Structure 1
């Protein structure tokens, strides 16, 4: 498998993107901003189609428009943290633009021999990455990883209690904008691996599984990245061994099954603890000593 150049490129880019998705995804779950990632994934689709309709490289639209919209969402939100109303409004508007650019692209550019590009943006094309493109993708993803690790502690503080963090001098608003840029960059990068429609699974499922496995933030951060990387590795291998299986489906299937496994293990663990605690609650209580009656008290006094 590793003697094939396209598999080498896929593993190189996929591993780096999975690391970034796992690290960024953990803070998305912690900050309850998963819906933000879903909206930005559709922004990535719209941005790529806008670039293709203009005759440009899809990556220009992927990164430029996704990052600009992320900053715009942060401006409309409180302390760089957009609420559901802002995200929902941007979501609907971006989807409308996506339909417009898709129509424009298919009517003006599809005859140039690149008509499948819109499908590639939607579902990814990790097996079609060239050597240079895989290296650029890996480099950008590693930069995102380095930045998220550098700001992990203050971002964790701001995510858990932004009011106390602001009172202690943490630049909460600046961190909010910076985190949105990282989410946008990760969404644009992940489009090449799993596609714009499936980015959310790679961002949310490993992080959700990690938070169910441990309550320690730094350990959960590492577990999220490890689960994301493992999902990409197993998914790529399964797609290579089973020719009819798309790599994006295989990657997301592994990540989702991991999350479901941790959920099931958590329920079994709770039932086990409840079964141990139940006999203690129903065990017979020691007999109570009856209180002295008033006559007995009088006799004792005499």
Structure 2
């Protein structure tokens, strides 16, 4: 589809409003923008707590679980989206139950990840020999790298129906979750349900990874969840300002990535990931030049 459009589209021009009208004239592009906005809104919000709670390893592991779940659904003739959603939530609860402290979480995550990767290799082998090429419409490459242009209106409604209540839950638990993330010992002493909040957040993270996998793929979902939030965390120390900034950065990068993918022909998920990486490295580099280098220079001359 995209190769045909690339041959008929006018080149990108300085008239941005005209270009936007052309791009949004296609139904699948409007669907891609809506789906990307829903996913980015949730990913940016969740990503801030991932950074704050040092759960980057867990979110990366859940993206591998999502791929395994989708393959399992294809092999077992179950809806791949439902299967990957079920597996990511189950594994997230297992990781949250096995380890709440940072060190314990890493051990639990590594243990479960080893098992999931082995299971994924098994399902990949079964998929390649039994399902691939049978006309099911399922593609392992699509799960790995995503396909924003392939999101149907039905899938968009599914994203909204799952993402909206998930976002509402996260808004409700945001303040106590922030408390437990910053100081779990004091939060427990104040009778805040630290363990329950940790399990709830694990479920929210699993659902976010599952949704984002549909658009940007299991290999690149990690970038959309982590990098905008890490960038916002560098730019401000205010928690709620960082949350809002992480959401804004995630949505902006997604919109720009979709636009670049549309006009260049490159995969949109790759464009979004590269933009997120470039944004983070630019902020880190600017921070180093502005603050770290002068301090090092003053110490050296003293």
Equivalences for residues 82-231 of structure 1 within 5 A = 82-114=104-136, 117-231=139-253
Q: Alignment partner of 2:54: what SS?
A: coil
Residue 26, structure 1, aligned to residue 74, structure 2: no
SS of alignment partner, residue 133 of structure 2: helix
The alpha-carbon deviation at position 79 of structure 1 amounts to 6.9
- Offset, 1:195: 0.3
CA drift at 1:261: 1.2
Separation of aligned partners in 1, 2:203 and 2:145: 23
The alpha-carbon deviation at position 21 of structure 1 amounts to: 0.5
Q: Does 1:6 align with 2:28?
A: yes
2:275 matched to 1:254?
Answer: yes
1:136, distance to aligned residue in structure 2 (A): 1.6
Q: Based on CA coordinates, which of the two structures has the bigger radius of gyration?
A: 1
Aligned residues: 279
- After superposition, give the CA deviation of every residue in 1:85-106 in whole Å (9 maximum; x if it has no partner): 1111111110110010111112
1:221-258 CA distance string (max 9 Å, x none): 11111111111100000000101x00110011111111
Q: Which segment is superposed worse, 143-152 or 33-42?
A: 143-152
- The residue that corresponds to 2:284 in the other structure is 263
**For each residue in 1:54-110, what CA deviation from the matched residue of structure 2 results, as whole angstroms up to 9, or x when unmatched?**
112111111111101111111211379952111111111101100101111121111
User: Any gaps of 5 or more consecutive residues in structure 1?
Assistant: 283-302
Q: 1:48 to 1:191 in 2, by over 3 A?
A: same
CA distance in 1, matches of 2:190, 2:252: 38
Aligned to 2:17: none
CA RMSD of aligned residues (A): 1.9
Contact 2:74-2:127 within 8 A present in 1 as well: yes
Instruction: Return the TM-score normalized by structure 1.
Output: 0.88
TM-score normalized by structure 2?
A: 0.88
